Amino acid sequence: MKYLKFLAIGILFGIVMYKSEAASWFRIFEMFRFESFHMYGIIGSALTLGVLGTWLIKKYKLKSIDGEPIKFTPKDKSFSRYMYGGILFGLGWALAGSCPGPIYTLIGAGYISILVVLFGALIGTFLYGVFRGKLPH
């Protein structure tokens, strides 16, 4: 059952997204109005530890549990795709109040209406796949 560990990680992720309130539309709105430190504290503390841990993994060339070196795949260098794509994503993040992870958390929490957001996200992904050749990257 090599997938069991990923199920456990997913469950932990779902619980953390719910209990941190990062899956709450209200928290996202409040963040973009700069009226609470909460979301900035979450992202900031995750990043501080993330930067430190990533540095340690590279410095000591740590291996995964399968004994493979831990790989970080660098993203392609570009400006336009990250800026344009980022802005579109940000518009959706604020409007629907959730990003791709919390969508699943909210399904589990029992919000049927979030399925509309998931449906929209699938259509959006599909449209990107169809039109990506015509977009500046």
Distance, CA of 98 to CA of 96 (rounded, Å): 6
Neighbours of 118 (CB within 10 A): 16
Report how far apart, in Å, the C-alpha atoms of 77 and of each of 10, 80, 97, 137 are: 30, 10, 29, 10
Q: Of residues 48-107, which lie at the interface with other proteins (CB under 8 A)?
A: 48-51, 53-54, 57, 62, 64-66, 68, 70, 72-79, 81-101, 103-107
Q: Could you say which of 25, 59, 60, 61 contacts other proteins (CB under 8 A)?
A: 25
Q: Quote the least distance from Cβ 59 to other proteins, whole Å.
A: 13
Q: Judged by CB under 8 A, does residue 27 bind other proteins?
A: yes
- Give the shortest CB-1-to-other proteins separation in angstroms: 10
3-class SS of residue 69: strand
Position 134 contacts other proteins (CB under 8 A): no
Number of residues near other proteins (by CB under 8 A): 114
**How far, in Å, CA of 120 to CA of 114, rounded?**
10
